[in-house]
Amino acid sequence: MAFQIHALPIDDFRPLFSLSDARLAQRRARRVRVTSRPGIPCRVSLIDAAVGEDVILTHFVHQPASGPYRASHAIFVRVHAVQARPDVDEIPALFHHRLISVRAFDAAHDMVAADIAPAGDLRGAIEELLEPDRVDYLHLSQREARLLRGPSDPGQVKASSARRSGQRSERRSTHARTWSSRISIGTGPTRRTSR
């Protein structure tokens, strides 16, 4: 089944790049100097920002649907970002070394399924969650792996390996901190390429 990851459009954030720190604060945003890599993922270029680079940390409504699943969080955008346009079935390197939460939504924007994909296993989670006809699009977000190693659910990360060995697993979301983005699967902002 074909899919396509869409980065956030740079035009949504370009007005922030030239603002003063005071004006950014009025928009619930701030300029940040990157001190380590990897660690600061840009939601427009879909790459990790370089050490010494300036990024904008801003509030973003990643699930804008009017309903109970409407949601927002903080995201990073590189000041000198170039718009990423991944090909069909391409998973950018940004996702290769991260634990990713994948949430499936139907046409009514209700969440109908969710999964957690360990580093290197995102393709399997995407293909599995896009399988049912009721799934219209997916949202991807990073999860903090170190926070999953607590007494609340010590086996959470291991669950994904069951799918790779042919067993189906039912995974539920944990209490790990997550910052979400509106990266969708499909040919448009919310559509799959094929069923």
* pLDDT confidence bin for 172, thresholds 50/70/90: very low
Q: Does the pLDDT of residue 76 top 90, yes or no?
A: yes
Domain ranges across the chain: 10-78, 93-180
Each residue's pLDDT tens digit, 82-120:
999 999 889 998 888 888 889 898 888 899 999 898 888
Cα-based distances in Å from 114 to 22, 24, 35, 47, 125: 39, 34, 32, 24, 9
- Return the top range by mean pLDDT from 69-73, 121-125, 127-131, 190-194: 121-125
Residue 24: CB atoms within 10 Å: 17
Over residues 42-74, the pLDDT tens digits come to 999 999 999 999 999 998 887 877 888 888 888
Q: What is the pTM of this model?
A: 0.71
CA distance 137 to 74: 21
Confidence at 144, pLDDT banded by 50, 70, 90:
low
What mean pLDDT is predicted for residues 138-155? Answer: 53
Asked if residue 26 has pLDDT above 80, the reply is yes
* Residue 185, beta-bridge partner list: 5
